[in-house]
């Protein structure tokens, strides 16, 4: 298994707090100082920050409104308006947003929650946090869960289905909602990777009983971290078992010094349980200021990503050993996933491409390891999930960030072509 080069199995690649972001910036600086020639020309997932982002950070720091402040209300209103929902609850991460959504949907001890096996592992801890059991569903040809794969995973205990739209590409959530209707199963629209995507003009995140967004790393709007739970119907929120707002994010070291040991003791996991991987905190005003600036450039961000996807398709369309995973019309085009068919059995062409691109200083990654194949998650496996198992090793993700110029897109495509034809 090529876990070293694959994401998703590596939780530390999912930093959602400012402290994590800071430490990765330090790591980057360190690696630059130590190996300037190996510093990537195009690093992975460059956030789309503008002058307004830096002005937002300065404003919030200089006015001392880091923890609470006016940006929180503004981002909340903007999310409500953009998604056309009734209510939005801000929190510290997309993971916590999922937990709040599950609680509001009445999911609890012993219930089953269907999640895709081919996904970021971040979807698992929120399910465990509410005492529920994750049930893995296979994915379809487009790498999202489908009505068929969800149907195959349903049991009498199923209480909710989490529907992520991977790589910005909308899943067929309408069909999954139809399937769940009448069965007392809630559908959570996980738009963590697909902010800005639409289905027939309706924003992704606004389908289902609750939806979530993320401003974490490697997202369309990658900020300093933060998540939002949205509800089309405020009533769901009222029905929530425990919808108390999580404690405020506390930047003061003094405060952390006294509260963190206490909170971690309160949150301590029992024997054999994985530790809580995300903090139960609200969004900080600083994070909201960054998220606000990113929401304001969302349209342009997505439009530019779509152009990169179109360019890859044009440049690579004649290659027989490459399948470019489709993006639906309304996709937010987070990345372009490519399946590389090996020339011979046992050959790992995808890794070879990643390595050659890495040598050319393009930081490209493989895609997810199916969650049910990762040891701590194997205890919940019920079936072989053949589509995810058969494709994952052949996948690479090409960058579509606005920061990646067309010259870079052309170079990346020509390197990919050279390797597959060598």
Ligand X SMILES: Cc1ncc(COP(=O)(O)O)c(C=O)c1O
Min separation Cβ 284 and ligand X, Å: 14
In the bound state with ligand X, the residue whose beta carbon lies nearer, of 83 and 119, is 119
Shortest distance, position 167 Cβ to ligand X, whole Å: 10
Q: Is 203 helix (H, G, I), strand (E, B) or coil?
A: strand
**Token pair 């690479």 in the structure block, residue:** 396
Measured from the CB atom, the residue of 214 and 285 that comes closer to ligand X is 214
Q: How far apart are CA 70 and CA 285, in angstroms?
A: 7
Dump the DSSP string for 309-320: HHHHHHHHTT-T
Which residue's CB is nearer to ligand X, number 192 or number 292? 192
Nearer to ligand X, 283 or 311 (CB): 283
Select 82 or 93, whichever has its Cβ closest to ligand X: 93
Sheet holding 365-366, edge to edge: 322-324, 335-340, 395-399, 365-366
Q: Which residue is nearest to ligand X (CB)?
A: 94
Beta carbons of 194 and 220 less than 8 angstroms apart: yes
Comparison of 146 and 193: residue with beta carbon closer to ligand X: 193
Closer residue to ligand X, CB minimum distance, 169 or 349: 169
What gap in Å lies between CA 345 and CA 200, rounded to an integer? 41
**Nearest partner of 86 among 188, 231, 238, 240, judged by Cα:** 231
**What is the nearest approach in angstroms of ligand X to the Cβ of residue 97?**
7
- Segment holding 98, helix H or strand E: helix 94-104
Measured from the CB of residue 214, what is the shortest distance to ligand X in angstroms? Answer: 3
Q: Is 417 exposed, middle or buried (0-12, 13-18, 19+ CB in 10 A)?
A: middle
Query: Which spans of this chain sit near ligand X (rule: CB under 6 A)?
Result: 14, 16, 93-95, 98, 119-120, 122-123, 164, 190, 192-193, 214, 216, 227, 278
CA distances, 175 to each of 190, 308, 370 (Å): 15, 29, 23
- Outline where 215-367 has alpha helix (H): 234-239, 253-266, 285-296, 298-316, 349-359
CB of 218 to ligand X, least distance (A): 6
Place of tokens 């600036």: 293
Which residue number, 287 or 349, has a Cβ lying nearer to ligand X? Answer: 287
Q: Could you give the count of Cα atoms lying within 13 Å of 319 in the half-sphere of its Cβ? A: 25
Least CB distance to ligand X at residue 190 (A): 5
Give least dist CB 188 to ligand X, A. 10
CB of 383 to ligand X, least distance (A): 22
């Amino acid at each position: 298994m090529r876990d070293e080069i694959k994401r998703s199995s590596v939780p530390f690649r999912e930093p959602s707090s400012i402290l994590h972001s800071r430490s990765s910036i330090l790591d980057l600086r360190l690696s630059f100082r130590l190996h300037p020639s190996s510093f990537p020309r195009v690093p992975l997932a460059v956030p789309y920050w503008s002058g307004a982002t830096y002005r937002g950070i300065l404003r919030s720091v200089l006015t001392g409104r880091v923890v609470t402040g006016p940006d929180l209300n503004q981002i909340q209103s903007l999310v409500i308006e953009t998604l056309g929902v009734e209510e939005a609850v801000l929190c510290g991460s997309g993971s916590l947003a999922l937990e709040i959504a599950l609680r509001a949907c009445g999911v609890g001890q012993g219930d089953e929650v269907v999640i895709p096996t081919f996904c970021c592992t971040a979807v698992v801890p929120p399910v465990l946090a509410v005492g529920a059991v994750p049930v893995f569903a296979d994915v379809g040809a487009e790498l999202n869960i489908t009505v068929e794969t969800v149907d195959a995973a349903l049991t009498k205990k199923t209480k909710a289905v989490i529907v992520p739209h991977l790589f910005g590409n909308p899943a067929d959530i309408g069909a999954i909602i139809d399937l769940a209707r009448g069965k007392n199963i809630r559908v959570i629209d996980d738009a963590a990777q697909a902010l800005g995507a639409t289905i027939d003009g309706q924003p992704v995140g606004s389908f289902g009983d609750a939806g979530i967004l993320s401003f974490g790393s490697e997202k369309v709007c990658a900020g300093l971290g933060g998540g939002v739970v949205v509800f089309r119907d405020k009533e769901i929120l009222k029905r929530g078992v425990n919808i108390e707002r999580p404690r405020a994010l506390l930047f003061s070291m003094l405060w952390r010094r006294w509260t963190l040991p206490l909170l971690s003791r309160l949150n301590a996991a029992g024997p054999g349980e994985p530790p809580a991987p995300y903090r139960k905190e609200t969004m900080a005003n600083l994070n909201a200021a960054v998220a606000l600036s990113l929401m304001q450039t969302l349209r342009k961000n997505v439009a530019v990503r779509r152009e990169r996807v179109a360019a890859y398709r044009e440049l690579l369309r004649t290659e027989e050993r490459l399948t470019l995973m489709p993006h639906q019309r309304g996709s937010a085009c987070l990345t372009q996933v490519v399946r590389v068919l090996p020339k011979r059995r046992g050959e790992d062409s995808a890794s070879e491409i990643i390595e050659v691109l890495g040598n050319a200083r393009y930081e490209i990654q493989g895609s997810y390891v199916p969650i049910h194949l990762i040891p701590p998650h194997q205890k919940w496996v019920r079936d072989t999930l053949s589509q995810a198992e058969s494709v994952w090793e052949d996948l690479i993700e090409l960058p579509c960030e606005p920061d990646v110029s067309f010259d870079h897109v052309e170079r990346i495509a020509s390197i990919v072509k050279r390797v597959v034809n060598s």
